[in-house]
Amino acid sequence: MIKGHPKGLVVLFGAEMFERLCYYGMRGLLILYLTKALMQGDSEAIGIYGAYTALVFAAPVAGGKLADAVLGYRRAVIFGGIVMAIGEFMILGGTQQWLYLGMATIIIGNGFFKANISTIVGRLYKDGDPMRDSGFTIFYMGINIGALLATVAIAPIGEKFGYEWGFGLAGVGMLVGVAIFIMGQGRLEGHGEPADPAALAKYGKLVYGGAIAAIPGLYFLITYSQKITFLGQGILFWLLMALLVYVCFNLLREGFKGDNVQRDRIIVLMILMVFNVVFWACFEQAGSSLTLFADRNVDRMIGSYEMPASQTQFFNPAFIILFGSIFSVMWVKLSQRGKNPSIPMKFGLGIVQLGLGYLMLLAGVTLAGPEAMVPLFILGLMYLLHTTGELFLSPIGLSMVTKLAPKHMTGSVMGAWFLSFAFSMYLAAVLAKLTGGEGEVAAEVTATESLATYVDLFGNMGFVTVGIGVLLILLSKPLTKMMHGVE
């Protein structure tokens, strides 16, 4: 037991750690697998990567809703984890078709797992408990220990010995996460059971069957997300827009159904969802353009060892682990002294730090030399600023949802929160595509040309995000007032 926290936090910490090992192990290899093994051009590969990551974060909209109404959070987490593992093993088929089918299966599993395990964390704490933010920060460290293991072990093994090894190990990791959750169920204090057992008995099998039946539809979306367009936008964009309209309608209906307090809290939640999109659209270049940048324009030699490009993603989870406990204690201490920044203020400060990280790359250009290779420590400093920004925003956001959401629809609201990540992933792919033309592959571009393109994109993102972060800082007081005492 972590001192002062519920026993169930350890169980959720372990399960989420191995689920993230699965997700980040696959994500760390995906863009390289698409461009190097399947020989796709940058634009096509980034589009597939963006479609996959967007759908991964859109799926919790349905997974949270179905857990609220039918399954309960505990059953949803177990089902989702098993399905994700199956998806990883499907990729071992070794063809593009098996890859897309495995990705579709992982999306379904993640939809049931991701939102609902976060919801259980919030349920372990009573309303107003000052330990909640600290608990979510500890939980967030579990996420990043899994991500670190994925980036220092799973992804490099796959890159060096064969991608099938990486994907297979990711699947094994997911099964370990499910086993930890099942064995630790007794520590959850009854949280996560279905609100209506009769609904589970009546509709449970239908939910499981419907989820499996949705896999071919997701396969179609991944395959044709860039090929079928309407009014200049792919079908994935319109799917996300339809989900946005649905989610916003439900949130506003619920907000105005209650009193002024509930209405204002829902409005604040929706506003911060917009700023969340901005943060993650820029942050999530890590798995696409920043990985390709590291592959082509970063000097990755450490003595006689050349760090694989996929392994450069280790900086972020490593820094999370280093600083996560410090931040966890810091929020508690500041709260005790009455100096804890408001949630909107933390969001604004996090976005500013993200922008400063990208501006760090501008300094790296002066050190690139004639070979157009930026020193590895510059990339590390950028990830350091991204990480501190993330700690100001991401675990706080998860905690915020459990505080602001009406109790009877926490899973649904958590799903809505993850929908903002889905838009982030879609926009992240749009931004990443600015670094390469249609069908363009690495051999067609010189190192000097690619460096100029990457730095131009990253510099612009840096200046824009700093400005947006400052705007949110200025808005933090009125937004905090609308939260009616939620801290």
| Domains, in order of start, for the chain | 8-482 (1.20.1250.20)
Provide the pLDDT for residue 411.
66
Residue 246: other Cβ atoms inside 10 A: 14
pLDDT of res. 436: 60
pLDDT at 440: 47
Nearest CA among 284, 287, 17, 372 for reference residue 174: 17
Please give the structure tokens belonging to residue 46.
Answer: 């980034």
Report, in angstroms and rounded to the nearest whole number, the Rg of the chain calculated over CA atoms. Answer: 21
Mean pLDDT for the stretch of residues 474-487: 85
pLDDT digits (tens, 9 = 90+) for 135-179: 877 887 888 888 888 888 888 888 888 888 989 999 999 999 999
In the block, residue with structure tokens 């100096």: 339
Look at residues 376, 360, 240 and name the one whose alpha carbon lies nearest to residue 312.
376
Query: pLDDT at residue 313 above 60?
Result: yes
Which range scores top for mean pLDDT: 119-128, 171-180, 295-304? 171-180
Overall average pLDDT of the 366-373 stretch: 81
Give me the mean pLDDT over the 250-272 stretch: 81
Mean pLDDT computed over every residue of the chain: 85
Which tens digits make up the pLDDT trace of 275-298?
A: 999 999 999 888 778 888 888 888
The three-class DSSP label of residue 305 is: strand
CB 365 within 8 A of CB 455: yes
Per-residue confidence band for 438, with pLDDT thresholds at 50, 70 and 90? very low
- Burial (0-12, 13-18, 19+ Cβ within 10 Å), 131: buried
Q: In this predicted structure, what is the pLDDT of residue 351? A: 96
DSSP code, position 229: E
Confidence (pLDDT) at 59: 86
Task: Give the pLDDT score at 439.
Answer: 45
pLDDT for residue 39 is more than 80: no
Kindly report the pTM of this predicted structure: 0.76
Separation between Cα atoms, residue 158 and residue 169, nearest integer Å: 9
